Structure 1
């Protein structure tokens, strides 16, 4: 069942970084597609393959828009993308993953450091980007590798 997530946040209602918001931890403001947004890291951890090895997913190539990437992944049959969307969230893009890493470095969020986390940005038909939050490594791996995901929510700021 899909959870109904908060749709937007008023600028005056934004909490301090590192504080609860929309079922997770608010950690930064950023711009996406001409709109200022609040990024929230959920506590949920998903695990699985990014998707089918060798299947090109043209809609999952954005370095900034994780929600669009995640929707394209789900349409292509990705189980972890479907699970993230059911939470009312998405898998972070490369940009959003870097913002999560910055929040970790600032002590605002805690992340597993023993495994690479999938990002929603596709590298090729065979590989997708992943992030190692122990050292902040951005790399890529075979889409059929099992990795973890920490979903995020991105709320428009009004």
Structure 2
């Protein structure tokens, strides 16, 4: 069952970056499709393959929309995507992963540096993007490789 999470926050009520918000840590404000959002890093750490090697998942190749990517992954049977959605979050897109890395570099969030993390952005039928949070290295790896996934949540910022 999906956890119910906070859906909106007033701009005036946003905490400082790195502070608690909506069940996680507030990473930053950003805009997606003309709508302002707050990106929150959830505490949960998942592990597993991204998906099937050789299978291109339609709708999972957005560079910026991790939620849409994760929903497409879940519909195709990705276990880590299903778990992320059940937590009320999603696997970060390439853009969202880079925003998390910027917060980590600023000392605002902690990330496991020992293994690559899956991102939800698919590169091809065989590969999906991943990130090393030790140094911010963005790469693409075979989908069947076991990697970590650290879900994020995004909520709308209203005035």
Query: TM-score with structure 2 length normalisation?
Result: 0.98
Whether 1:53 aligns to 2:59 is no
| 1:156 paired to 2:156 | yes
CA deviation after TM superposition for structure 1 residue 10, in Å:
1.0
Aligned to 2:13: 13
Moved over 2 A (4+): none
**CA RMSD after TM alignment:** 0.5
Counterpart-to-counterpart distance in 1, 2:88 and 2:3: 5
**Structure 2 residue aligned with 1:123:** 123
Give runs of aligned pairs for residues 37-48 of structure 1, distance below 5 A: 37-48=37-48
Secondary structure at the aligned position of 2:102 is classed as helix
Q: Offset at 1:2?
A: 1.1
Shift, 1:58, TM fit: 1.7
- Which structure 2 residue ranges, 5 or more long, are not aligned? none
- The aligned counterpart of 1:137 is 137
The 1-side partners of 2:14 and 2:135 are apart by 29
Report Cα offsets for 1:63-107 as digits up to 9, x if no partner.
Answer: 000000000000011000000000000000000000000000000
Query: What count of residue pairs does the alignment treat as equivalent?
Result: 158
Residues of 1 paired with 2:33 and 2:83: CA distance?
25
Gaps in structure 1 of 5+ consecutive residues: none
* TM-score (norm: length of structure 1): 0.99
Q: Secondary structure at the match of 2:85?
A: helix
Matches within 5 A, 1:60-75: 60-75=60-75
